Amino acid sequence: MASLSPIRLSVRNPVLSNLLMITLTVLGVLAFLDLPREMMPKISFNWAFVITPYPNVPAEDIEQLITIPLEEELADLDGIDQMTSTSSEGQSMIWLKYEMVSDDKYSKYLADLKAEVDGVNLPDDVEDVYVDDFNTDDFVPVISVTLSGDYPERVMHDYAEELKDLLFDIRGISEISVIGTREREIWVEIPPEKLYAMGLTLDDVAGAIRYRNFNLAAGDLKV
């Protein structure tokens, strides 16, 4: 007996064919409903960056003390296609382009990058080194809030920081950035003749201020 082709079998058994079609349709709809969906999915471009602030240090020293040591250590990492750097006054920035790999492997590359950066021998007074990757979260804000008013910049900055703290209480917010205001700074003006009389330099004064600039706990508060 010759075997029946699928088309001939379907023609001879219309009920079975219809049941099979309905079953496949229902399974397809259920699979579609079970798919994860995001309004603004996070997409990585396989770019990572290493930013090292080092305030009040010339660009030439930044390059010798920070950028070059970091580059020498990071050059041996796996998966790097391209590495570029910029040394400017007070800051070193290194960009790393990785090969196109799976998300899991790229996450491993980032973990290796952070571990390698932590092991680099940098000047003792370098406080923070920022390591992160570049993705759509860095340039696609969901909501932008603008504050305006006839107030001093310091007051507007305080309002923006207060609003930032309030918005962080909303579920689902992962990051908030405040732009358009300047960080507070204290300017110290020193007469050159007094420095000369005391046998000091500007670096001596800057170092003394830097090492005495710290947060001190005021005590315990029981509530």
CATH of the domain at 128: 3.30.70.1430
pTM given for the model: 0.51
Residue 89 lies inside a defined structural domain of this protein? yes
- pLDDT at position 1 is 47
Cβ–Cβ under 8 Å, residues 74 and 117: yes
Beta strand spans in 12-164 (E):
44-53, 80-88, 91-98, 130-135
DSSP string, 57-80: --HHHHIIIIIHHHHHHHTTSTTE
- Any domain includes 91: yes
Tokens of 93: 């920035």
Count up the domains in the chain and report the number: 1
Note whether residue 84 is domain-resident. yes
Residue 10 lies in a domain: no
Is residue 30 one of the residues assigned to a domain? no
Structural domain contains residue 64? yes
Residue 223 lies in a domain: no
pLDDT of 143-170, one tens digit each? 778 888 888 888 888 899 999 999 988 8
The maximal CA–CA distance of the chain, rounded, in angstroms, is 115
Top-confidence residue, 45 or 71: 71
Could you tell me the residue range of the domain that residue 120 belongs to? 44-138
What value does the mean pLDDT take over residues 104-131?
91
Asked whether the predicted pLDDT for residue 2 surpasses 60, the reply is: no
**6 part of a folded domain:** no
